Structure formats: C-alpha cells, structure tokens
Amino acid sequence: MASPAHVLIVEDDPHVLTINRRTLEREGYTVAVATTLAEARLTLASTRPDVILLDVMLPDGDGVAFARDIRPHTDAHVIFLTARIDTADIINGLAAGGDDYITKPYALQELVARVAAAVRRRAMAPAPAEAPTPNRMKPVGHGWIQFDRLSLAVTIGGARIELTPKEFGVLTVLAAAPRRAHTASELYESAWHRPMLGSPQAIRTVLSRLRGKLEPHGLTIAGARGEGYELKLRA
C-alpha cells in the first residue's frame, strides 16, 4: 500500500494553520507545519514533501522569493495561498517556481481538491533519476565552502556555520568571485533583492556579523575604500 502524500503548510496565522492541517489530516495526508520561512527551511532540510502550501506574506520574508530559492532543490508541487489577485502578482509567483495558487478567502473543499490534483499529477510524472542536491561547492582560494541553500548554512573545513538569509545571500556572491571586489550596492541587492537607495549602513551591519562568523574559520571580508569588499584568507 502506498504511503500517504506528505504536505508542508507554511502559514503564520495559527487559526488558518490549524484548520488547514486538520482538514488535510482527515483526508489522509501526512502534514508538517511551519509558521516562518526559517522553520520551513529546517523542515525541507530533513524531509521531502509532495506538496507545499505556501503563504505569500510571512513574518520573515516573501513566499515568492522563498519559492524561487528552493525550486532548484525540491520537486514538491508549490501552491501559493495569497490574498493578492493582481495578474502580475500571480504571474510572478508562477514564474518564481510556483505550480498553482489559491486566493484568500477560499473554501476548504477547494484546498482539498487542489492538493489532491497536485498529488495526482506527481503520481503520473516520471520519477527523476536522482534527487537534486542542495549543496554546491565554490572555491575560495585556500579551500572550499559548501553551501546548503535549504537550511541556510555553510561548511568550511568541516565546521558548519548557521547564517541568516541576508548573510547567506551576501556570502554566496562573495564566494562566487572571491578575487573581485563587490560594491555595497551589489551585495545589498543580493541580500534584499532590491536596489540600495539609501545609506549603506544595513549592508555594513550584515558584513560585520558575517565577518565575525567567518574569521574563526580562516576567512575574512576585506574592504578597500572606493573598491568594495572581497572574500580573503584571514591574515
């Protein structure tokens, strides 16, 4: 007998979360829940859901950006739960890696039907030869940094370092081209996903925290006035 499909619900409203979880469990699904994107990342690092019900507006970030980030590393069917009904918002969500969307408010029967349809489509699709891996190795002069995009952690010389989403975004850019200076504006855009229009203090704060996490492991972020920042061996 086939095991029940696994659904991950990412929703910060406790009332909605409870109703959706109980409804899907009554339909026979195995359900995991997360109230933040950080919790969702931890869940995805250890489980492989068949369907992700993803709220678009969450306390620690944007569900659309999250879908874009995880899409290369999961084949789960992503269904957005959104109050946005503008066509451009829907198109952006689907282009970011979403497969379907349900606009709020919605009937529970619709939720169940959409999830069931997603599970049927997955059952009909050919199985991939090998599950995608979230890890990518990038050279940084003296060795390697291993990136885990699902849990937002890196491994340097065998040591695992937990990062915030913004720290992770900045380090990804720095490690991709370690011998090139990156401007504050470039690094800001990699972390906030929008242009830096005001003071660079926010990106400087992220760089300072990131430097503190890297230096015990032999790396640092060096800055040169007027040139930007680059990843280097710690002197």
pLDDT in single tens digits along all 235 residues of the chain: 467 899 999 999 999 999 999 999 999 999 999 999 989 988 887 788 999 999 999 998 889 888 888 887 888 999 999 887 666 767 777 787 888 889 888 999 999 999 999 998 877 755 444 444 444 444 444 446 888 877 888 888 778 899 888 888 888 888 877 778 888 888 888 788 778 877 888 898 999 999 999 999 888 898 876 678 988 877 6
The pLDDT assigned to 193 comes to 75
Sign for the pseudo-dihedral over CA of 148, 40, 96, 194 = negative
The pLDDT assigned to 139 comes to 46
Query: Distance (Å, rounded) from C-alpha 181 to C-alpha 187?
Result: 10
Domains of the chain: 6-124 (3.40.50.2300), 135-233 (1.10.10.10)
CB burial of residue 182 (10 Å; 0-12, 13-18, 19+): buried
Query: Distance (Å, rounded) from C-alpha 42 to C-alpha 165?
Result: 13
Question: DSSP strand E in the chain: where?
Answer: 6-10, 30-34, 51-55, 57-58, 61-62, 77-82, 100-103, 135-139, 144-148, 153-156, 159-162, 219-224, 228-233
pTM for the whole structure: 0.62
The pLDDT assigned to 131 comes to 41
The pLDDT assigned to 148 comes to 83
The pLDDT assigned to 85 comes to 66
The pLDDT assigned to 137 comes to 45
